[in-house]
Structure 1
Amino acid sequence: MTREPHRPLRADAQRNRDKILAAAVRVFTEEGLDAHFERIAKEAGVGSGTLYRNFPTREALVEAAYRNELARLCDAAPDLLAAMPPHRALHAWTRHFMDYVTAKFGMAEALQAVVDSGTDPYNESHQLIQAALAALMDAGVAAGTIRADIRPADMFAALTGIALACGKPHQRDQAERLLDLTLDGLSPQCHPTRDRTAD
């Protein structure tokens, strides 16, 4: 997808935009598509004019809030790898994945309205998530802590299954148990491996 170049926002303007997007996720999750812009502005600690200057339509705000959650998830991968060993980074990232899923499910009604308007907020999301997973898993394989025969697409399918089964906030404990079970299955010490590049 081609995006027009744009000038970076000033630091204070970027902070306001970030606060608006975080507040939008919370409010759309709680109130659905009928959430008032004034409530979002109040939650973000900005004026209504600031919100409308950044996001003149409801669809623009919903799409930007979703894409921001997606970017936070994908950008977390290199940061985690820089801060901790690969197996711990993957463990931490799967928790970020569940946060992303919870936000996505909470905003489902609002996101559907964006889709109905002719925009695809999910464009490239699967590819971006799998690229983040690939970076984490490749680092684990190189470190000898992750089986070499499991592809990022396999792990994404497993995570998606967990998300569909228990992606609601009240199911978080069960989701984390299933995440741990899945991550345990990646250990090369418990399973014979087959090099995934051999196929």
Structure 2
Amino acid sequence: MAKDNRQRLGRAEARDKLLRAAARVFLEKGRGATVEDIAAEAEYSASALYKHFSNKDDLFRCLWHRVFTEMIEVFTNEPPMDLPFVGRLKWTLYSIAEFAENDRDLFLAAMANSPIAESPMTLDEEFLEKHHQMRDAFNQLMSRGIEEGVLRDYDPATLAMAMGGSLQALTGHWALEGPFPLKPHMDDLIELFMNGAAKKPED
């Protein structure tokens, strides 16, 4: 039966099934997971897995690329309606929350296998290109806030790093301590970003 199922799957569907199986196995066994473990979880043979991925490291790296590509789409897609800066920022962060919560295994396994900690000299061109796409999209969002007069006239890249660092810290906390609803925490991030954390002197 499994063989017939594999025959009906196209290449993209088969890769998706294997990536999702890899995510589940990784979250259960960590880097001790084997190709055989992943293939069995996907109801494939190891030889069938090797038709799509060269080895376990290639599979985990593709897992990260898959999630990172979807993250870029969140940042580059246009909202269904024209929104001012704060509404657009909220729409973007909520979209990330929905993606993380709806595809938690994939999201967490990808975060754990991110090549971001590697030396910049070892990062492949595809990863760097995707990183630049996300960076540029976030910078453009911050530029919009400056143009609307709701953000101070900082370098957009500085603002993007401030918001992006907070977002990364939140998703990391969610990965380690969650799951918990992300959207309320996204609201808190936006409030802190827009109003600052310092207590205002009393009048």
Normalization by structure 2: what TM-score? 0.62
The worse-fitting range, judged by mean Cα deviation, of 147-156 and 68-77 is 147-156
1:92-123 Cα offsets, whole Å, 9 max, x none, are 23424785863345447xx69x969x954795
Alpha-carbon distance, 1:126 to partner: 4.6
Identify which of 159, 167, 170 aligns with 1:162: 170
Counterpart amino acid of residue 179 in structure 1: M
- Given the alignment of the two structures, is residue 103 of structure 1 paired with residue 101 of structure 2, yes or no? no
Structure 1: gaps spanning 5 or more residues: 1-10, 192-199
Q: Residue 66 and residue 87 in structure 1: after superposition, are their counterparts in 2 closer, same or farther (change >3 A)?
A: closer
| Residues 158 and 182 in structure 1, CA contact (< 8 A), matched pair in contact too | yes
Alpha-carbon distance, 1:53 to partner: 1.0
- Given the alignment of the two structures, is residue 83 of structure 1 paired with residue 80 of structure 2, yes or no? yes
Counterpart in 2 of 1:19?
17
Q: Residue 145 and residue 83 in structure 1: after superposition, are their counterparts in 2 closer, same or farther (change >3 A)?
A: farther
| Residues 26 and 109 in structure 2, CA contact (< 8 A), matched pair in contact too | no
Counterpart in 1 of 2:191?
184
Residue aligned with 2:151, SS: coil
CA RMSD of aligned residues (A): 3.9
| Residues 20 and 44 in structure 1, CA contact (< 8 A), matched pair in contact too | yes
Counterpart in 2 of 1:93?
95
Counterpart amino acid of residue 42 in structure 2: A
Alpha-carbon distance, 1:45 to partner: 4.3
| Residues 74 and 128 in structure 1, CA contact (< 8 A), matched pair in contact too | yes
Q: Residue 155 and residue 105 in structure 1: after superposition, are their counterparts in 2 closer, same or farther (change >3 A)?
A: same
Number of residue pairs the alignment of both structures matches: 172
| Residues 74 and 96 in structure 2, CA contact (< 8 A), matched pair in contact too | no
Counterpart amino acid of residue 147 in structure 1: L
Normalization by structure 1: what TM-score? 0.63
Q: Residue 180 and residue 55 in structure 1: after superposition, are their counterparts in 2 closer, same or farther (change >3 A)?
A: same
1:9-55 Cα offsets, whole Å, 9 max, x none, are xx811111122122212221221112122332243344433311111
Residue aligned with 2:178, SS: helix
Counterpart in 1 of 2:200?
none
Counterpart in 1 of 2:53?
55
Alpha-carbon distance, 1:176 to partner: 4.7
Q: Residue 148 and residue 46 in structure 1: after superposition, are their counterparts in 2 closer, same or farther (change >3 A)?
A: farther
Percent of aligned pairs sharing the same letter: 19
Counterpart amino acid of residue 103 in structure 1: A
Structure 2: gaps spanning 5 or more residues: 1-8, 197-203
Residue aligned with 2:41, SS: helix
Pairs within 5 Å for 1:93-172:
93-95=95-97, 96=99, 102-107=108-113, 119-120=122-123, 123-124=127-128, 126-138=131-143, 147=151, 149=153, 151=156, 152-164=160-172, 166-172=173-179
Counterpart amino acid of residue 171 in structure 1: G
